[in-house]
């Protein structure tokens, strides 16, 4: 298949006003959103839909039929509200072996001013480097797919942290490219589920990338921030610095595990456990919780058992026990990425799990960092029902599709060799640079 050669500046140009549709396929629900975007103003929401879904396990498609049915129902609801028919959508992926790395590439400029042709050659060499890395991993690369590949830091003659090197005189020009890959099989299963619902997949976007787009402001991205999205089955940690994504980790544990713990501890149904968590649960405790009693419905309401009454403190203890595990994993993920020191002080919680009462205070103590709850922003007309942290990824998918961006994956590979490539201390150097800028 022939690929048109695009100038990097053309890739950054916004398209004309258009309809953007997104589907958040989660472990507990499927949500759809339709918006209008003109490339200049904030996207305007014109339709939304939500359906419960239990076709996914830990963020992966486990029941194709249930997933497909939920996708179709949610999108039909959104289409009816918007008065349009959707053909293609952006969809999220929260698991599937997500892996974050940095590829480095360098080319010879020979002392002249860096031109657009030099930038194109550099990014083409970067694309070749990414394909080479994928081919060398996991048995020839057949098991990995690239979701995102965006430039992070440019370097000219050893000077790191250059945002736009065009016009500079230099002998050597280099770039670090943040590459996000996933296992190919889960991507194909997700793609098939969407296509079985009679929709084309425009792009698969990592959940952490999408959620970050809707909950962060530019200054947070510049100074350094970690977004922790607590979904039903997966918790995603994405780190940003210098205005760019710096690392992402997916943890197979989420708010659904808290619900399961409550159901098991109090011998009640999952639906009742979810209600207890939502209405009476909390991440922080007080002396009064020992005296406040809550009713726990029996596991089988038809066997004649009466609801039990237990202190609210017992419910909170079960919740906090699982939260200790979740944030222990989050803390380790932040250390692995290198999110430490002065540039690693801000954390934003989002996702359905972030709706738990008192969770920001709990996380602040567990992570020893500043913590706030992130809710969707940047969209006009977002319904109140979709304005909570549980819909941050959905809103972010729309913003991701509306914002012009440079993705190395979309740049064709050159037919002739270009540049010298090689591994470098990517994440460490990125955060060292951020720390020097603060």
Assess contact for 40 and 33: CB atoms under 8 A. Answer: no
d(C-alpha 352, C-alpha 31), whole Å: 12
Q: What is the pLDDT of residue 138?
A: 52
Q: Which residues pair with 50 in a beta bridge?
A: 31
pLDDT in tens, 228-249: 999 999 999 999 887 778 888 9
Burial of 110 (0-12, 13-18, 19+ CB in 10 A): exposed
Is the pLDDT at 152 greater than 80? The verdict is no
pLDDT > 70 in the chain, percent = 88
How many other C-beta atoms lie within 10 A of the C-beta of residue 358?
17
How many other C-beta atoms lie within 10 A of the C-beta of residue 295?
12
Q: What is the pLDDT of residue 268?
A: 94
- For the chain, give the secondary structure using H, E and C: CCCCCCCHHHHCCCCCCEEEEEEEECCCEEEEEEEEECCCCCCEEEEEEEEECCCEECCEECCHHHHHHHHHHHHHHHHHHHCCCCCEEEEEECCCCCEEEEEEEEEECCCCECCHHHHHHHHHHHHHHHHHHHHHCCCCCCCEEEEEEEEEEEEECCEEEECCCCCCECCEEEEEEEEEEEEHHHHHHHHHHHHHCCCEEEEEEEHHHHHHHHHCCHHHHHHCEEEEEECCCCEEEEEEECCEEEEEEEECCCHHHHHHHHHHHHCCCHHHHHHHHHHCCCCCCCHHHHCCEEEECCCCHHHCCCCEEEEHHHHHHHHHHHHHHHHHHHHHHHHHHCCCCHHHCEEEEECHHHHCCCHHHHHHHHHCCEEEECCCCCCECCCHHHCCHHHHHHHHHHHHHHCCCCCHHHCCCCCCCCCEECCCCHHHHHHHHHHHHC
- Mean of the pLDDT values across residues 18-40? 93
Q: What is the pLDDT of residue 433?
A: 52
Is the pLDDT at 221 greater than 50? The verdict is yes
pLDDT in tens, 93-151: 988 788 878 788 999 988 899 999 999 899 888 888 888 777 766 544 457 888 888 88
Is the pLDDT at 434 greater than 70? The verdict is no
pLDDT in tens, 278-337: 999 999 999 999 999 999 999 887 777 888 999 999 999 999 999 999 999 999 999 998
- Mean of the pLDDT values across residues 1-26? 62
- If pLDDT is split at 50, 70 and 90, which confidence band does 69 have? very high
pLDDT > 90 in the chain, percent = 61
- If pLDDT is split at 50, 70 and 90, which confidence band does 2 have? very low
Instruction: Spell out the residues 6+ positions from residue 106 whose beta carbon is closer than 8 angstroms to its own.
Output: 155, 172, 173, 174, 419, 420, 421, 422
d(C-alpha 120, C-alpha 422), whole Å: 19
Pairing of strands 56-57, 60-61: antiparallel
Nearest alpha carbon to residue 316 among 257, 234, 389, 258: 258
When mean pLDDT is compared over 158-162, 341-345, 352-356, 431-435, the highest value belongs to 352-356
Is the pLDDT at 86 greater than 90? The verdict is yes
Q: Which residues pair with 294 in a beta bridge?
A: 310
The more confidently predicted of residues 40 and 361 is 361
Q: What is the pLDDT of residue 153?
A: 79
Q: What is the pLDDT of residue 90?
A: 95
Q: What is the pTM of this model?
A: 0.84
Is the pLDDT at 266 greater than 70? The verdict is yes
Q: What is the pLDDT of residue 301?
A: 75
Is the pLDDT at 11 greater than 70? The verdict is no
Q: How many Cα atoms occupy the beta-carbon half-sphere of 150 within 13 Å?
A: 17
- Span of 43-57, 379-393, 418-432 with lowest mean pLDDT: 418-432
Q: What is the pLDDT of residue 12?
A: 47
pLDDT in tens, 41-54: 899 999 999 999 98
Is the pLDDT at 8 greater than 80? The verdict is no
d(C-alpha 21, C-alpha 26), whole Å: 16
Is the pLDDT at 13 greater than 80? The verdict is no
Sign of CA dihedral 191, 197, 198, 202: negative
Q: What is the pLDDT of residue 269?
A: 94
- Mean of the pLDDT values across residues 201-210? 92
Q: What is the pLDDT of residue 303?
A: 74
Phi, psi of 206 (to 5 degrees): -60, 135
- Report the interhelical angle of 392-402 vs 207-215 (nearest 10°): 90
- Span of 77-91, 129-143, 340-354, 404-418 with lowest mean pLDDT: 404-418
How many other C-beta atoms lie within 10 A of the C-beta of residue 62?
14
How many other C-beta atoms lie within 10 A of the C-beta of residue 266?
20
d(C-alpha 358, C-alpha 367), whole Å: 14
For all residues of the chain together, what is the average pLDDT? 86
- Span of 31-40, 139-148, 184-193, 354-363 with lowest mean pLDDT: 139-148
Phi, psi of 311 (to 5 degrees): -65, 140
Sign of CA dihedral 400, 404, 407, 411: positive
Cα-Cα-Cα-Cα dihedral of 297, 303, 306, 309, to 10°? Answer: -40
Domains assigned to the chain = 99-180+407-437 (3.30.1490.110)
Assess contact for 210 and 329: CB atoms under 8 A. Answer: no
Sign of CA dihedral 332, 334, 335, 340: negative
């Amino acid at each position: 298949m022939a690929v048109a050669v695009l100038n990097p500046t053309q890739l950054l140009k916004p398209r004309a006003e258009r309809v953007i549709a997104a589907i958040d396929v989660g472990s507990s629900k499927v949500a759809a959103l339709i918006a209008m975007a003109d490339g200049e103003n904030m996207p305007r929401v014109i339709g939304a839909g939500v359906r419960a879904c239990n076709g996914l396990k830990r963020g992966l498609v486990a029941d194709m039929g249930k997933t497909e049915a939920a996708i179709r129902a949610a999108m039909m609801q959104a289409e009816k509200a918007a008065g349009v028919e959707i053909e293609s959508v952006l969809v999220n992926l929260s698991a599937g072996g997500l892996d974050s790395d940095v590829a480095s590439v360098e080319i010879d400029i020979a002392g002249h001013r860096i031109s657009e042709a030099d930038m194109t050659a550099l990014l083409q060499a970067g694309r070749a480097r990414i394909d080479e890395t994928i081919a060398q991993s996991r048995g020839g690369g057949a098991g990995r797919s690239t979701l995102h590949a965006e430039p992070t830091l440019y370097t000219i003659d050893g000077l790191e942290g250059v945002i736009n090197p065009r016009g500079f005189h230099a002998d050597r020009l280099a770039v670090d490219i943040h590459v996000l890959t996933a296992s190919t099989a889960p991507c194909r299963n997700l793609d098939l589920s969407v296509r079985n619902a009679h929709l084309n997949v425009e792009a698969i976007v990592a959940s952490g990338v999408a959620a970050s787009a809707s909950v962060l402001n530019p200054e947070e991205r510049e100074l350094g921030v970690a977004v922790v999205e607590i979904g039903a089955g997966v918790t995603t940690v994405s780190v940003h610095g210098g205005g760019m994504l710096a690392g992402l980790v997916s943890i197979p544990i989420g708010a659904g595990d808290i619900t399961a713990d409550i159901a098991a501890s109090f011998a009640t149904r999952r639906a009742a456990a979810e209600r207890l968590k939502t209405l009476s649960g909390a991440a922080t405790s007080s002396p009064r919780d020992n005296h406040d009693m809550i009713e726990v419905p029996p596991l089988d309401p038809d066997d004649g058992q009466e609801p039990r009454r237990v202190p609210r403190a017992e419910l909170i203890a079960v919740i906090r026990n699982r939260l200790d595990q979740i944030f222990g994993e989050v803390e380790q993920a932040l250390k692995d990425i290198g999110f430490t020191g002065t540039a690693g002080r801000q954390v934003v919680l989002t996702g359905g799990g972030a709706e738990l009462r008192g969770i920001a205070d709990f996380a602040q103590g567990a992570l020893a960092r500043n913590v706030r709850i992130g809710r969707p922003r940047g969209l006009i007309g977002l319904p109140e029902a979709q304005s909570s942290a549980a819909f941050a990824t959905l809103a972010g998918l729309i913003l991701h599709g509306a914002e012009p961006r440079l993705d190395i994956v979309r740049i064709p590979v050159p037919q002739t060799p270009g540049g010298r490539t090689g591994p470098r201390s990517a994440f460490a150097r990125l955060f060292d640079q951020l720390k020097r800028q603060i």
